Structure 1
Amino acid sequence: MTERIAIIDLGSNSARLIVMHIYANGAYNLVYHQKDPVRLSEGMSSEHLLQPGAMERAIATMQVFAHMCNLFNVDRVLAVATAAVRNARNGGDFVREVEKRTGITLEVISGDTEALLGYIGVINTIAVNDAVLFDLGGGSTELTLVRNSKPEKMISLPFGAVYLTEKFQTADRVTEGQLADLRKFVSEQLAQVPWLKKLALPIVGIGGTARNIAKMDQKRKNYPFNKVHNYRLGRLSFDELWRALMVTSLGQRRKFPGLSTERADIIVAGSTIVKGLFDVTLGTHLIISGCGVREGLFWRDYLSRNGGSQTIDDILMHSTDNMLRFYKGDINHCHQVARLALSMFDGWQELHNLDDRSRKLLHVASLLHDIGITINYYDHPRHSAYLVENARLFGLTHREQMLTAVIAGWHNGPTKFVRNRIYGEFFDEIDWQTAKKLSLILAIAESLDTTQMQLIKSVGASLEDGNAILDLQGTQASVERQSLERMVRWFRKEMNTELIVK
């Protein structure tokens, strides 16, 4: 049974809608995304009242969202409102008006729930054991201390980028006095959270401010990969970017490379909160999460209805399996190829001298090597590489995802197409050598299941007298044996030894 779930996050600054499609085989995929800058908290800082203009903007956006839900034949809607509505004295009236005029029932979630949903969104999409998570919105900032991948401490602070912009009048050029007052306020507020001090951990950012920091840093560095999720930058890079922003006017920020025009007025306050977090926690580096409350809502719903907890044990294997199911690959064949490839990797460890992380990349590439057939069987390795490169594979760094794409793309032999793409911006010569060795092992495993009938049940890989031995266990595998013979010359060239098949 298929299902479509709409998820709405009505924040203090922006409203977002995503539509997730769940397929009959359990795979899921994002099929629609829309974001509108509603500025719901605008003008409410003094009296804690949602202003008429802001409410009308939000309701108009919610009406559009309701229309899109109908267009996409959504089965269920999960809609939440965060800081602006929960902090407003007229928040209840606003929620009732939204339901009356749009049919959407908003759940006003607490700060702790917002922090928990952000944690669920991050921990299921970024491999991090110990970190400080922050979800920086327009009206609040949620902080979570993660230890051993579990949420140990949580707090919701009642200020965000829009709130502080209005409080300290930092929308346009800021004076030294304004900036000093803003920094002092942020420092004093963070100092009241005792468990934040001197953690010396990565800080993981959720929300528009964090995403824009990544985009600006990518522009400054001419980063070749247009992907924000799991992008990382060090303390020095962030400080340089922050200082560059502090001396700009609003007009200059609207032209600042990588910065969204709609966020130009609130980025000073938003990035200063991040600066304060770096200072108080002694953060080692910043990791950007493109996933947050919306994804947390999805995971909480999807995983609970499939009998699991709210977190996934192995996010890389889970997202790989989801890709394999989504592209309707031959699951038996792909798992067989992966088993054979990993057996050879383990048996020839002393020959290739690659680490456990390389083994993981080989595993993923083996499972996904044929998904390009969905586009076109001819030249499908190249299509597989493109799909892996752009997939929502979680638990890999950007470089590792590129490397996995090359391994999958070379499973019929090295081709020149990868040298003409952005891979060269990420890889050094050692990376290229790793890709060649792993793609060779994948190609041999693929050849041992040419008929996709699993005639070769298993292999024994070992080294004897300087030669690589491959002991095949199976029957009536003449096609596989013939296909394997074409690999002998490639093996000799790449591994500098002979491949002897028994």
Structure 2
Amino acid sequence: MTEHIAIVDLGSNSARLIVMHIYHNGAYNLVYNQKESVRLSEGMEQDNQLQEAAIGRAIHTLKVFAHMCQLHKVDRIIATATAAVRNASNGQAFVAKVRELTGIPLEIISGKKEAKIGSIAVTNTIDIKDALLFDLGGGSTELTLVRNNQVAELVSLPFGAITLSEKFQTQDKVTDEIIANLNNYILDKLLAIPWLSKLNLPLVGIGGTARNIAKMDQRRKNYPFPKLHNYRMGMVSLDSLWESLIKTNLSQRRKIPGLSSDRADIILAGMNVVKALFEVSAGEQFIISGCGLREGLFMHYYLTRQQQADVLPDILMHSTRNMLLFYKGNTIHAYHVSHLAMTLFDGWQKLHQLTLRERTLLKAAAFLHDIGITINYYDHARHSAYLVENARLFGLTHREQMLISAVTGWHHGVSTKSMRRIYYEFLDEADWSIARKLALILALAESLDQTEMSVIQGVTVKLTPTQAELKFEAYDNAVIEQQAIKKHQKWFRKEMKLPLIITEA
């Protein structure tokens, strides 16, 4: 039976709702997403209270969310309120009113809990063991130092993009003096954190400010892939974008490609925080996380339900298996092909000279090579490639995701017709060579299970100066598998520069 889980995240700037399905086989998938701008913290500078207009906007939005939960037949709602409600003197009264009028059980979470949940989202979706995480919201900024995938330090700072914008009046045209005062204020707060200085680590950003910075940078560079998660920027790109932004007024910023119009008035303050974090921590690069509080809340719920720890040991294999299960792939065939592919890869390593990382990419491709059958069996390799290209696969760079996509698309043979323009934007000649070799190994492995009956139980491979050898063990007649693998002998000689000899043990 499918479990329907709703996650509500009521922040200082936006309110968000996602609905996740957890299926009977353990797979999960996002089925609905809604975001509304509520500006809940607007006007709080005056008396530290949520203002009536902001409360009205939030209640209206949460009523809509509650209705959507009913339509989606949600079994459980996990709902959190962050800085605006946390800091407001009338926050508890607001939570009670929300429950009375909408039925949504809002929980006010502490800044440290917010930071911890954000770290769960990042460590389970970006392959990085050591980093400085920041979650920049409208009313607070959470900083988390991650060492070896574990939270080492965390702190919640009582300012965010909205509160800083209101405090320093950066919503429209700014002067050098305004920017200097804002920057000095942020630097003073950051320099007071003893563990933050000169970390020399990647800076991973969560939240709307980080995503909008990435969107603007992508549009400036005509980046061909719309994916934000794990998008990376250097300090030069960040500085260039900043210099162009501070010269604009509000009207001009609303027209900047990639910048949401409802964030145009708070982007300067938000981006100044990012620049200051870069400066104080001596950041190596800026990595954008498309996953944040909502995904962290879901992953915590899901992993607890599965009796697993909050940090997955292998995020790529976890997301790959999840995708295989979601598309109802033949898991026995996929696991068997993956095992055979690893054996071929390892036995011929001196021949193909590929790396351990490329071995990992081959393993993921082997798991997913047949998922395109969900769309149509005919030409399913091309369909598999498209699904992999657009999948929520974690632990991969954008280039690596394109590489795996190409490999899955070629598991019946190399065909440039199936390669869309986007592949050529990411992959150079060396990458294409890697893709051809990995695709060849995958094609051989799949041929060894052509009937999907695991007739061939194991293989032994050897390499001599004059030939490559493949010896297989079969528990039954493997004539179909033999015919299938022999079709790739010509491809093998062309790619590996040696003949392939096939025998049965």
- TM above 0.5, one fold? yes
Distance apart, 1:370 and its partner CA: 0.1
Using the alignment, how far apart are the partners of 1:351 and 1:422 within structure 2?
30
Asked if residue 228 in structure 1 is aligned to residue 195 in structure 2, the reply is no
Contact 2:8 2:16 in 1 (8 A): yes
> For each residue in 1:34-89, what CA deviation from the matched residue of structure 2 results, as whole angstroms up to 9, or x when unmatched?
00010000000231110000000000000000000000000000000000001000
Contact 2:406 2:419 in 1 (8 A): no
Partner of 1:98: 98
Amino acid at match of 2:122: V
Contact 2:138 2:163 in 1 (8 A): yes
Using the alignment, how far apart are the partners of 2:101 and 2:408 within structure 1?
50
Distance apart, 1:421 and its partner CA: 2.2
Using the alignment, how far apart are the partners of 1:63 and 1:394 within structure 2?
33
Asked if residue 266 in structure 1 is aligned to residue 282 in structure 2, the reply is no
3-state SS, counterpart of residue 85 of structure 2: helix
Amino acid at match of 2:484: S
Using the alignment, how far apart are the partners of 1:483 and 1:419 within structure 2?
24
Superposition pairs of residues 238-317 of structure 1, within 5 angstroms: 238-317=238-317
3-state SS, counterpart of residue 47 of structure 2: coil
Partner of 2:491: 490
Using the alignment, how far apart are the partners of 2:335 and 2:143 within structure 1?
40
TM-score normalised according to structure 2 size: 0.99
Amino acid at match of 1:333: H
Using the alignment, how far apart are the partners of 1:493 and 1:61 within structure 2?
61
Distance apart, 1:418 and its partner CA: 4.2
Using the alignment, how far apart are the partners of 2:333 and 2:91 within structure 1?
55
> For each residue in 1:455-479, what CA deviation from the matched residue of structure 2 results, as whole angstroms up to 9, or x when unmatched?
1111111202321110111141011
3-state SS, counterpart of residue 311 of structure 1: coil
Instruction: Say which is worse superposed, 413-422 or 483-492, in terms of deviation.
Output: 413-422
Partner of 1:447: 447
Structure 2: give runs of 5+ residues left out of the alignment: none
3-state SS, counterpart of residue 46 of structure 2: coil
Using the alignment, how far apart are the partners of 1:310 and 1:489 within structure 2?
48
Using the alignment, how far apart are the partners of 2:278 and 2:395 within structure 1?
24
Partner of 2:371: 371
Distance apart, 1:336 and its partner CA: 0.7
Using the alignment, how far apart are the partners of 2:31 and 2:281 within structure 1?
38
Partner of 1:461: 461
Using the alignment, how far apart are the partners of 1:332 and 1:232 within structure 2?
36
Using the alignment, how far apart are the partners of 2:48 and 2:177 within structure 1?
27
Amino acid at match of 1:204: V
Instruction: Say which is worse superposed, 86-95 or 413-422, in terms of deviation.
Output: 413-422
Partner of 1:69: 69
Distance apart, 1:306 and its partner CA: 1.1
Using the alignment, how far apart are the partners of 2:31 and 2:329 within structure 1?
20
3-state SS, counterpart of residue 196 of structure 1: coil
Contact 2:131 2:203 in 1 (8 A): yes
Asked if residue 352 in structure 1 is aligned to residue 352 in structure 2, the reply is yes
> For each residue in 1:413-438, what CA deviation from the matched residue of structure 2 results, as whole angstroms up to 9, or x when unmatched?
01123444200000110000100010
Contact 2:16 2:33 in 1 (8 A): yes
Asked if residue 424 in structure 1 is aligned to residue 427 in structure 2, the reply is no
Amino acid at match of 1:382: R
Partner of 1:191: 191
3-state SS, counterpart of residue 193 of structure 1: coil
Using the alignment, how far apart are the partners of 2:84 and 2:311 within structure 1?
28
RMSD of the alignment, in Å?
0.7
Partner of 2:6: 6
Partner of 1:499: 500
Amino acid at match of 1:490: W
Superposition pairs of residues 377-416 of structure 1, within 5 angstroms: 377-416=377-416
Distance apart, 1:188 and its partner CA: 0.3
Amino acid at match of 1:407: V
Contact 2:204 2:289 in 1 (8 A): yes
Equivalences, count: 502
Amino acid at match of 1:339: H
Using the alignment, how far apart are the partners of 1:146 and 1:123 within structure 2?
9
Partner of 1:340: 340
> For each residue in 1:185-238, what CA deviation from the matched residue of structure 2 results, as whole angstroms up to 9, or x when unmatched?
000010111100001100000000000011011011111001000000111111
Distance apart, 1:105 and its partner CA: 1.2
Superposition pairs of residues 35-74 of structure 1, within 5 angstroms: 35-74=35-74
Partner of 1:216: 216
Structure 1: give runs of 5+ residues left out of the alignment: none
Amino acid at match of 1:91: G
Instruction: Say which is worse superposed, 456-465 or 310-319, in terms of deviation.
Output: 456-465
Using the alignment, how far apart are the partners of 2:417 and 2:25 within structure 1?
33
| Paired-residue identity, % | 61
Partner of 2:362: 362
